[in-house]
Amino acid sequence: MRKEEAPSRLGPPDPRIRWVFALGLVPAHLLLVSFTVGLRFDHLVLDGVSIALLFVGGRVAQLAVMALPLWMVGALYEALPIFLPLRGEVHVADLYFAERALFGIEQAGKLVTPTEWAAAHLHPVFDALAGFAYLAYLAETFGFAVYLYFKRPERMGLLVWGFLAVNVAGMITYILYPAAPPWYVDQYGLGPAVMDAAPSAARTARFDELFGVSVFASFYSRNVNVFGAMPSLHCAYPTLVFWVARPMGRGLAVAAGGFALWVGLAAVYLNHHYVLDVLAGVAYGCLAYALVSAAMRRRANRSATAVTAPAVEP
């Protein structure tokens, strides 16, 4: 087995970054959201906290700098409404019939999709388990990023830049291949897409009802892209975490892989994604990790070559 590298030591962040962020990126972000999703108090809080962390100095500032790709993902999602008018024809019936043909389950004498089969097997225990998976998928990514900063900072770079890459790829796909989620088919049928369809919490509403909360209702009410089922980024994120965690020990890899499987099952049970969406999300997570890993290896090799290259005599 290859011996693991020792955690790398990080130097202080370039002080210019804080000013570029505070005087350039944050004002641009706040202006952007004013014209897209609408400026909210939480935007001001999050951007203010991000600026404060950058100016604290020391390891906190270094962590904030390394986490900037995560902030960039949030900013990109709030810019998504600008590009939604460029979408082509929304895939509704073709995706449904492909799902049924590939993964159909016999039920009451007819073939149904896995999400339709799950509708006949709903249970409060499954509602709770699936809901917790959907609540924890981002917390796993962000929490693991912080853990990596203190334990393996070089792998934190893999995670945060992979996270940015998989989101950019996902958003491009939303424009090129807009796809209706299974809950949409339940509500609006297989006909031409209803472009002003309201977002839905789908079966995560059962979690809200079970625990007397409105977590998912509030979250999905702000969804600006109903036709963003393919790929499932809910599944792409834990897949990316799995690949980053894999060289760090069997226990961590098994836990990350198990969570990725849990989220994939939850996505189908909760009626948010087809199995095809889940598999696409897994593929995007794998591809993002492979591309970012290759880019970081190439950069490391160039740096090593520059350091070891002999000086040329004048």
Sequential pLDDT tens for the chain (314 residues): 344 443 444 555 566 777 787 778 888 888 877 877 777 877 788 878 888 877 777 777 788 888 889 888 988 888 888 889 999 899 999 999 999 999 999 998 899 999 999 999 999 999 999 999 999 999 999 999 999 998 888 899 999 999 999 999 999 999 999 999 999 999 999 999 999 999 999 999 999 999 999 999 999 988 889 999 999 999 999 999 999 999 999 999 999 999 999 999 999 999 999 999 999 999 999 999 999 999 988 887 776 676 555 554 44
Predicted confidence at residue 143, as pLDDT, reads 94
HEC string for 148-211: HHHHCHHHHHHHHHHHHHHHHHHHHHHHHCCECCHHHHHHHCCCCCCCCCCCCCCCHHHHHHHH
Rounded Cα distance between 166 and 70, Å, is 11
Rounded Cα distance between 3 and 165, Å, is 28
**Cβ–Cβ < 8 Å for 204, 270:** yes
CA 54 to each of CA 13, 49, 50, 59, 187: distance values in angstroms, whole numbers, following the listed order: 9, 9, 6, 10, 46
Predicted confidence at residue 142, as pLDDT, reads 93
Predicted confidence at residue 309, as pLDDT, reads 52
- Name 179's bridge partners: 91, 228
Rounded Cα distance between 258 and 254, Å, is 6
Q: Find the angle CA(300)-CA(304)-CA(309) to the nearest 5 degrees.
A: 150
Predicted confidence at residue 307, as pLDDT, reads 57
Q: Find the angle CA(2)-CA(7)-CA(8) to the nearest 5 degrees.
A: 115
What would the two tokens of residue 245 be? 């965690």
Predicted confidence at residue 310, as pLDDT, reads 55
Q: Is 107 exposed, middle or buried (0-12, 13-18, 19+ CB in 10 A)?
A: middle
- Half-sphere exposure (CA, 13 Å, Cβ side) for 262? 21
What would the two tokens of residue 279 be? 């598999």
Residue count (the chain) = 314
Rounded Cα distance between 299 and 215, Å, is 42
Alpha-carbon torsion, ordered 260, 264, 267, 269, to 10 deg: -120
- The 3-state DSSP class for residue 113 equals coil
Rounded Cα distance between 87 and 79, Å, is 14
**Cβ–Cβ < 8 Å for 219, 267:** no
**Cβ–Cβ < 8 Å for 245, 270:** no
Rounded Cα distance between 5 and 105, Å, is 47
Q: What is the DSSP letter of 86?
A: G
- Element holding 137 (H helix, E strand): helix 124-151
- The 3-state DSSP class for residue 60 equals helix
- Element holding 107 (H helix, E strand): strand 105-107
Rounded Cα distance between 17 and 72, Å, is 14
Task: Name the CA radius of gyration of the chain, rounded.
Answer: 22
Domain ranges of the chain: 1-66, 87-308
Matching residue, tokens 């039920």: 107
- The 3-state DSSP class for residue 225 equals coil
